[in-house]
Amino acid sequence: MPSTALAPTHASNSASGENYRIHVASTVVTAGEPQPLSFVVLDGAGEPVTQFEDRHERPMHLIVVSNDLADYAHLHPKLGAGGTWSAELPALDPGGYRVVADAVPAGGPDLVLTVDLVVPGVAAGRPLPEPTRIAVVDDLEVGLDLAPAADGLVAGLTVRRAGLVVEPEPYLGARGHLVAIDADDLAYLHVHPTDSDGPVSFAIADPTPGRYRLFFDFSVDGQVRTAAFTVDISADTAGATGEGHAHAEGEGHR
C-alpha cells in the first residue's frame, strides 16, 4: 500500500507538498522466515525515482520496527533497474510493523517515507521496557545521557567493556547511528551525529514530549551491534521551540 511522505528529516509523519510516496509489492509478510521486500519510491507524478544521493554512506536507510518497538532492524536496500529497491527482511514474529525509508532523491528533498506491514498470526503483545539509561549488549555496557540544547536535545552515548571506555569504530561515516521512535504513534526522528569530541553524541531537534525508544547502532571489534533504550522526554527538555514532530492524518500506531 502506498504511503505519503514528508520533507523534514526529523519527523516521519509530517505532510509535504512534494507528494513522494513508497509503494511495496506486498504489505503482508510471512512469519518466522527471512524474505525479500521489494518497493519503489514514486514522485508527485507517480513515476519511479531512479537516482538517489548517498547520505551516511548509503543511498537509503530502511528501518523496520514492530508496533510494540521490541523488534528493530536497520537495513540498506539495493537499488535496481527502473527504481526498484530490494532488501532482505529478517525473520519477523506475527504483528504489525512500521517500515521507514530514509533517502534523498538526486536534486530533491530529504525524504522519510513510511509504510506498514502485517505479519499474520497471534501477536505476542510485549510491553514496552521501562525507561533506562543503561543497555547491555553482549559484553558491552552502553550508557545514555540526554542534555537539553537550544533547539532540542543532545544524546551522548558511552560504550564500556569491563568498566573501561571503548571507542566505537567508524560506521556509516560516523561513530554510530541513532534512531528514535515515538512510542505513541511510531513517528520517526532521524537524529544526526555531532562533531564534538568525547562521548558519541547526536542532536535531536525539538522532540515532542513523550516516551521514545532509541536504537543506537555502533561497531566494536568489527561487529555492528544495537543498544536499545526507552526514554521519557519532558516538556522541560524537549527543546526551546516546543514544536516537535508533526503528524499526518491517518498515520499512527496500529
For 178-204, the pLDDT digits (tens) are: 999 999 999 998 688 887 777 899 999
**What's this model's pTM, rounded to 2 decimal places?**
0.86
Cβ-based burial of 242 (10 A; exposed 0-12, middle 13-18, buried ≥19)? exposed
- Percent of the chain at pLDDT exceeding 70: 85
Residue that finishes a domain, picked among 56, 85, 119? 119
pLDDT band at 161 (very low <50, low <70, confident <90, very high): very high
The predicted-structure confidence for 79-93, as pLDDT tens digits, reads as follows 998 999 999 999 999
Assess if residue 108 is contained within a domain: yes
The whole-number pLDDT of residue 18 equals 67
Q: Which has the higher per-residue pLDDT, 58 or 17?
A: 58
Q: Are residues 92 and 159 in the same domain?
A: no
Task: Give the CATH number, domain containing residue 197.
Answer: 2.60.40.3340
Phi and psi for 81 in degrees, rounded to 5?
A: -60, 145
Task: Give the CATH number, domain containing residue 33.
Answer: 2.60.40.1930
Q: Are residues 107 and 166 in the same domain?
A: no
